[in-house]
Amino acid sequence: MSKLWQARFFTTVNHLRDLPRTTVPEIAFAGRSNAGKSTAINILCNQKGLAFASKTPGRTQHINFFSIGGAHVAMHRHDPLNMDELQCLVADLPGYGYAEVSGDAKNHWQRLLGDYVQRREQLAALVLMMDARRPFTDLDQQMIEWFAPTGKPIHCILTKADKLNRNESINVLRQAQAKLDSYVDEDGEGFPFTVQLFSALKRIGIEEATAKIEELAGLADGDQAPPPDESEE
Ligand SMILES: Nc1nc2c(ncn2[C@@H]2O[C@H](COP(=O)(O)OP(=O)(O)OP(=O)(O)O)[C@@H](O)[C@H]2O)c(=O)[nH]1
Ligand SMILES: [Mg+2]
């Protein structure tokens, strides 16, 4: 059983000043609206209604945080002792690129996103969810360029792989890896960027994503967290 299965709703944030004053590592799920972020969080946490997933794009407009460890403790900012058991936070970021959202709201959350990914020290890694049929849109690349200078890992998850046949899947994965390898810093060094295929519908890539996220969140380390038992998933 994965540690992610312990996830509980923690808090919703609409302004950077309200970010939780926690120090545990955070893993943030970013991606275009409708890419499948909330659906993937629900699957990975093995809880149907945890992150709101819907057929109406643009529904996740705030940053929703979920906690791992300290499972029954919601955020009490004035009572940090309650957070002793907290091990990690998972953030479901507002989807971007939803054309029908008006100017102000769009600007608000694009700024919220940009500032959060660039400045949040606790953010350990970004999980970038992209529809496998059209990965690396301009806004996805913007996200990568915002985050790359932090030197932290990005794990790309190509969602809805059930829409591709076997050959298409192989090609998309290969092209995505090549695209990620093409990012280099001023010294020509690559970045810690990885990629995989995923389908919530056909349950493709769940174990791979779980293992990667646990590793990035520091949940897979030695004594505090036994390694996930593959046979139970
Ligand atoms: N075929 C298929 N559809 C999926 C998959 N994952 C999600 N969907 C569908 O894609 C739509 C959007 O999924 P969400 O999880 O709400 O997307 P989101 O990225 O959270 O969207 P926002 O909250 O708007 O940012 C829903 O209709 C899901 O049922 C998948 O693996 N395969
Ligand atoms: Mg969502």
pLDDT digits (tens, 9 = 90+) for 15-49: 889 999 999 999 999 999 889 998 999 999 999 88
The number of the ligand nearest the C-alpha atom of 33 reads 1
pLDDT digits (tens, 9 = 90+) for 105-116: 777 777 888 999
Using most ligand atoms within 8 A of CB, pick from 12, 29, 37, 39 the residue to mutate for ligand 1: 39
Give pTM, 2 decimals.
Answer: 0.88
pLDDT digits (tens, 9 = 90+) for 70-92: 755 555 544 444 567 889 999 99
pLDDT, residue 95, reads: 87
- In this structure, are strands 123-131 and 26-31 parallel, antiparallel, or unpaired? parallel
Residue 105 sits in which domain range? 3-232
pLDDT, residue 225, reads: 47
Helix axes 206-217, 37-44, angle to 10 degrees: 80
pLDDT, residue 48, reads: 87
Specify whether the CB–CB gap between 27 and 214 falls below 8 A.
Answer: no
* Number of structural domains in the chain: 1
The number of the ligand nearest the C-alpha atom of 162 reads 1
**Which residues does 59 contact at the CB level (< 8 Å), separation at least 6?**
38, 52
Question: Which residue's C-alpha comes closest to atom 30 of ligand 1?
Answer: 160
**Looking at ligand 1, which atom is closest to the CA of residue 93?**
25
Specify whether the CB–CB gap between 212 and 51 falls below 8 A.
Answer: no
More confident residue, 57 or 49: 49
pLDDT digits (tens, 9 = 90+) for 151-209: 999 999 999 999 999 999 999 999 999 999 999 999 999 999 999 999 999 999 999 99
Cβ-count burial 24-61 (b if 16+ within 10 Å, e if not): bbbbbbbbbbbbbbbbbbbbbbbbeebbebeeebbebb
Q: What is the whole-number distance in angstroms between the Cα of residue 142 and the centre of ligand 2?
A: 19
The number of the ligand nearest the C-alpha atom of 101 reads 1
Listed range (4-8, 128-132, 196-200) with the worst mean pLDDT: 4-8
Question: Which residue's C-alpha comes closest to atom 7 of ligand 1?
Answer: 36
Q: What is the CATH number of the domain that holds 208?
A: 3.40.50.300
Average pLDDT across the chain, whole number: 86
